[in-house]
Amino acid sequence: MNGLQACLLLSALLFAIGLAGALTRRNAILVLIGIELMLNAANINFIAFWHYGAATPRITGVMFAVFSIAVAAAEAAVGLAIILAAYRRSRTTDLDAMNSLKG
């Protein structure tokens, strides 16, 4: 297992844990954190391929990661605002209790 495979495996593990957290936790904020972790895993992939990639001096990997960080921060802000608004309506952050659209 060379360096690239190690980095990719780490990012896959991070992605899987983030996905597990986003799918299983009750608290809405922790679901959002799981999504942030998935974005971070994708960023690790970009930087790993940039580092182990072709020898030509291209910085596409770094640029993509920087833009991805910016977009993820914006999305975290909006997501937390939505959670705050939902909390104000239903007085809880428990996702299992917000099922009034069900059935």
Partner 1 sequence: MTQTVDQIFVLGKHWLLEYVPIAAKPIVSAVLSVIPIMVAFPLLFAITTWLERKGLGRMQNRLGPNRTGPMGLCQPIADGIKSLTKEDIVPLTADHVVHFLAPLLLVAAAFLAYAVLPVGRNMVLVNLDAGVLFFFAVGSVVELAVFMAGWSSRSKYSLLGAMRAIAQMISYEVPLVLATVAVIMQSGSLSTVEIVERQAGYTGLLPHWYVFTPWGILGFILFMIAATAESNRSPFDLPEGESEIIAGYYIEYSGFKFALFFLGEYLGMFATSGIAITLFLGGWSAPLSVLTFIPSWIWFFAKLLVLICIFIWIRGTLPRLRMDQLMSFAWEFILPMALINMFVAGVWHFMASGFVRWIACATLVIVPCVVLSALLKRKKKLQLRTYSFAE
Partner 2 sequence: MTVSFLIIAIMVAGGTAAAMVLRNPIHCILALTVSFAGIAALYLKLGGQFVGFTQIMVYVGAVAILAVFAIMMTQSRRIPVAGIFSRNASVGLFTASAVFAVLGWAILSQPGNGPAMQNTSVSVQQIGGSLMHEYVLPLEIVGLLLTAALIGAVVIAMDRKEDAE
Dist CA 13 CA 73 (whole Å):
22
Taking the complex as a whole, how short is the minimal distance between the CB of residue 101 and partner 2, in angstroms? 16
The rounded distance, in Å, linking the Cα atoms of 69 and 55 is 25
Residues 2-31 within binding reach of partner 2 (CB under 8 A): 2-10, 12-27, 29-30
Phi-psi region of 91 (alpha: psi -120 to 50; beta: other; left: phi over 0): left
Does 77 bind partner 1 (CB under 8 A)? Our answer is no
7 is written with which tokens? 């980095």
Options 1, 57, 59, 91; binder of partner 1; rule CB under 8 A: 91
Residue labelled with tokens 């936790």: 25
Contact range with partner 1 by CB under 8 A, out of 4-12, 28-36, 61-69, 81-89: 81-89
Q: How far is the CB of 23 from partner 2 (least distance, A)?
A: 3
Which of 44, 48, 51 has the alpha carbon at shortest distance from 17?
A: 44
27 forms beta bridges with 94
Does position 84 bind partner 1 by CB under 8 A? yes
Residue 51 Cβ, how far from partner 2 at the closest point, in Å?
Answer: 4
Q: Which does 90 bind (CB under 5 to 8 A by kind): partner 2, partner 1, none?
A: none
